[in-house]
Chain A
């Protein structure tokens, strides 16, 4: 037996689902209402989660459990409070310190990680002997991979006039980009359709019980 609350919840979900879909007809009050409810719930969800998942375990519990041992945590706590000073224009400048620390850390780490993963490892992954592959398909593929990567990077090289001979690799680079955009296109279609299927399954199954 399903309880009243479960049934009520499913009807509520269905109502919200349909209100959002009503945007397809045109922008209307029901859609606007649902959308603002979504914004409100989402903000509250973040807030509550930050409190229970970060503030309590990583800061307050540690300070309450062993204050003298965790004295150093008062520094990030103070920096955090300085961050909140951003709310008021007069105290906004105080928040520049925690922001600078956050941005500085992020900049350092992203610089290293992008350099390693997105540049160096991509370079070494392209340094392959195309003829070492087992099948003809893979040999052709590997050659395409090398040429495509080189021409693609060259397409984004802005310091050379792309005329005559120098226009050729750039042109090839665009072709590869276009093929890749085609693939992305296909995958995006796939993704959007999947999400729709998920919602229809809810409406037809959980709500209307039409799916066995």
Chain B
């Protein structure tokens, strides 16, 4: 039997489509282990004092929101739980919309949290590393006003917060440049503010060297799996947890594809040898 390569491709595409769709329609509810990196990020937020002001930078766009949006929601919820006040910023213009969506989804469970007192959305600034460095000197110079045009000085929760050093922790949710790397380099290594963060699974392996005893990075959430682990740690049944079954099945399928492909290649190589 000889299948043309384009048919072969289409079969593979269909199988993957079904394999992902089925567990979404009929959830299984498998449990997963929590990795050390996720726990480290969790501990940083858990151990920061009440009432402290923290910053989450939304450095991603809708293309990776499936992976990163759950982290944003989980971290905001965790900060709210610990009574910390959250500043949202963005190094990517689309990040502002992502921040808005994340807040509006978490706020449903925390109706008493008020804009300006418990959280603010300062919005997007261009410039990446240079801009973070400027924030380290003076936040209000970089952000003269929030999204709606309210001056920096008139936002109650920002009183006494003049520069990055005044924050308890910074988390960069990042899917590229500028993002977590720039925050680690400037806010972490240069200004000494604890930095944690989340990124797409693709960039995660490249960030692990920063998680070391120099504390360049406090833990790391890498991809949807880490987001679901985090949701587990703060007892939240969130969007990431609901997708893990589909993720597991798809991984299994990819492995099966690799196995079949290798067997096929082995057989055809032997045939050639004979």
A–B: direct contact at CB < 8 Å: yes
Question: A residues near B, CB below 8 A?
Answer: 24-25, 45-46, 49-50, 53-54, 57-58, 61-62, 105-106, 109-110, 113-114, 116-118, 121-122, 124-125, 128, 180, 183-184, 187-191, 193-201, 204-205, 210-211
Q: Most B CB atoms within 10 A — which of A57, A189, A204?
A: A57
Question: B residues near A, CB below 8 A?
Answer: 10, 13, 16-17, 20-21, 24-25, 63-67, 93-94, 96, 123-126, 129-130, 133, 142-145, 149, 184-186, 188-190, 200-202, 204-206, 209-210, 212-214, 216, 222-225, 243, 246-247, 250-251, 254
Q: Given A25-B10, A197-B243, decide whether A54 and B125 contact each other with a Cβ distance below 8 A.
A: yes
Chain B residue, CB-CB nearest to A102? B130
A125 touches B94 (CB 8 A): no
B67 touches A194 (CB 8 A): yes
Closest Cβ–Cβ distance, residue A187 to chain B (whole Å): 4
Closest Cβ–Cβ distance, residue B21 to chain A (whole Å): 6
Q: Given A113-B190, A191-B201, decide whether A106 and B130 contact each other with a Cβ distance below 8 A.
A: yes
B145 touches A57 (CB 8 A): yes
A-B contact pairs, 11 of them (CB 8 A): A45-B93, A49-B96, A50-B93, A117-B184, A125-B212, A194-B243, A195-B63, A196-B16, A196-B20, A198-B243, A205-B24
A190 touches B190 (CB 8 A): no
- Bound complex: CA A199 to CA B225 (Å): 17
- Bound complex: CA A79 to CA B212 (Å): 42
Query: Which of A116, A196, A211 is close to B190, meaning CB atoms less than 8 Å apart?
Result: A116
A193 touches B126 (CB 8 A): no
